[in-house]
């Protein structure tokens, strides 16, 4: 008996979901595009929220920013849940390897008391700043519009929670639970932290999600992370025998550099959409970066001594260059 096997080509009737094809045409889509485009609920809400009856449950009117297409605010990293978790899992593995290296060789105990105390004094209050970053990005996700904008904000919220957890673990490695309590006490009562605390608590009540995006992710993070984790941890603590601290904080500067690509891309596209957006975002940037710089000045002086003001000014100049490259009219 002869068996005749023939190959037959079956052409799909469509290449992707209709909601995705509305944005890219009927062609094969990436996983990121399938997880992002056309996902935002926009109809059939049935009721308005009792806490904000002037808005729908999901409403682009919660921000003063307007966009011809909110899905234009795409993440250049193309993160959706699966590849974001895989990327963070690899970084977690690297951090675990760092902890194993530090603990197996007793590197924390080999640090001088002065370096260990200084690192704990500056880094432990930042646990509360990172927690606020988590809360603020949750708010951006809840109040924002368009999955291209809100989904990365939720990932960013969880990244801030990860930073807070890494700092907590560092505190336990440096000084047991007493270091965490001392950091909390400083955050609540030390005069050097109160201006930053005021800035952080004021952002917690901002209602416009895009204004909050600028205040938290561009202005505050854009100054804080280079100042503390580059100039203080890498350039000061590590060179004074605190290599262990730099290893246990290695996630923070790496994450900041990666996430800056998304933040800058969002600002660039939104500012280029129309002149009103450009004016609003530029104004928010100038206001909140000035406030954040003033809030970080006492922290810079505490961490970096006489060089604090100059290094903070350098960080501000670098952030201004980022903002100009993103199209802001500074």
Distance of CA 41 to the CA centre of its chain: 24
Q: Which two tokens stand for residue 284?
A: 């928010």
| C-alpha distance from residue 31 to each of 17, 89, 164, 213, 217 (Å) | 11, 19, 30, 26, 26
The single residue listed with the structure tokens 């670098």 is: 318
Tell me if residue 315 falls in helix, strand or coil: helix
pLDDT at 283 (0 to 100)? 98
pLDDT at 75 (0 to 100)? 97
| CA dihedral for 82, 84, 87, 88, sign (positive or negative) | negative
Rounded CA-CA distance 55/53 in Å is 5
15-28 b/e (C-beta count within 10 Å ≥ 16 → b): ebeeebbebeeeee
CATH architecture of 81-325: Orthogonal Bundle (1.10)
pLDDT at 266 (0 to 100)? 98
Residues 210 and 266 sit within 8 Å (Cβ to Cβ)? no
Contacts (Cβ under 8 Å, ≥6 apart) of 27: 15, 16, 21
Tell me if residue 191 falls in helix, strand or coil: helix
Which conformational region is residue 293 in: left (phi greater than 0), alpha (psi within -120 to 50 degrees), or beta?
alpha
pLDDT at 154 (0 to 100)? 98
* DSSP strands (E only) in the chain: none
- What does each of the 330 residues of the chain score in pLDDT, given as a tens digit? 677 777 888 887 888 999 999 999 999 899 999 999 999 999 899 899 999 999 999 999 999 999 999 999 999 999 999 999 999 999 999 999 999 999 999 999 999 999 999 999 999 999 999 999 999 999 999 999 999 999 999 999 999 999 999 999 999 999 878 999 999 999 999 999 999 999 999 999 999 999 999 999 999 999 999 999 999 999 999 999 999 999 999 999 999 999 999 999 999 999 999 999 999 999 999 999 999 999 999 999 999 999 999 999 999 999 999 999 999 998
pLDDT at 310 (0 to 100)? 97
Question: What CA dihedral angle connects 51, 57, 63 and 66, to 10 degrees?
Answer: -160
Residues 131 and 163 sit within 8 Å (Cβ to Cβ)? no
DSSP secondary structure, 64-129, as one string: S---S-GGGS--TT---HHHHHHHHHHHHHHHHHHHHHHHHTTTTTTS-HHHHHHHHHHHTTHHHH
* Predicted TM-score (pTM) of this structure: 0.94
């Amino acid at each position: 008996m002869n068996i005749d096997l023939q190959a037959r080509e079956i052409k799909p009737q469509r290449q992707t979901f209709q909601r995705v094809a509305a944005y890219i045409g009927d062609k094969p889509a990436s996983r990121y595009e399938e997880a992002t485009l056309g996902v935002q609920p926009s109809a059939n809400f049935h009721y308005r929220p009792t806490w904000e009856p002037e808005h729908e449950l999901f409403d682009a009117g919660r921000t003063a920013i307007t966009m011809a297409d909110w899905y234009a605010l795409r993440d250049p990293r193309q993160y959706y849940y699966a590849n974001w978790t895989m990327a963070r899992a690899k970084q977690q593995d690297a951090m675990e390897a760092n902890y194993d290296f530090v603990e197996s060789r007793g590197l924390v105990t080999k640090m001088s008391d002065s370096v260990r105390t200084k690192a704990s004094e500056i880094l432990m209050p930042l646990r509360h700043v990172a927690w606020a970053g988590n809360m603020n990005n949750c708010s951006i996700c809840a109040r924002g519009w368009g999955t291209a904008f809100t989904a990365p904000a939720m990932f960013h919220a969880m990244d801030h929670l990860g930073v807070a957890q890494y700092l907590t673990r560092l505190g336990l490695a440096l000084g047991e639970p007493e270091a965490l309590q001392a950091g909390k006490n400083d955050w609540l009562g030390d005069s050097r932290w109160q201006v930053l605390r005021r800035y952080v608590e004021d952002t917690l009540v901002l209602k416009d999600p895009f204004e909050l995006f600028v205040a938290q992710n561009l202005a505050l993070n854009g100054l804080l992370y280079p100042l503390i984790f580059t100039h203080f941890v890498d350039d000061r603590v590590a060179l004074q025998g605190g290599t262990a601290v730099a290893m246990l904080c290695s996630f923070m500067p790496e994450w900041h550099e990666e996430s800056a690509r998304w933040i800058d891309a969002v600002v660039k596209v939104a500012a280029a959409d129309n002149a009103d957006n450009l004016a609003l975002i530029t104004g928010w940037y100038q206001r909140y970066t000035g406030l954040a710089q003033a809030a970080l000045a006492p922290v810079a002086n505490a961490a970096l001594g006489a060089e604090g003001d100059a290094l903070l000014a350098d960080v501000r100049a670098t952030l201004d260059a980022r903002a100009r490259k993103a199209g802001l009219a500074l």
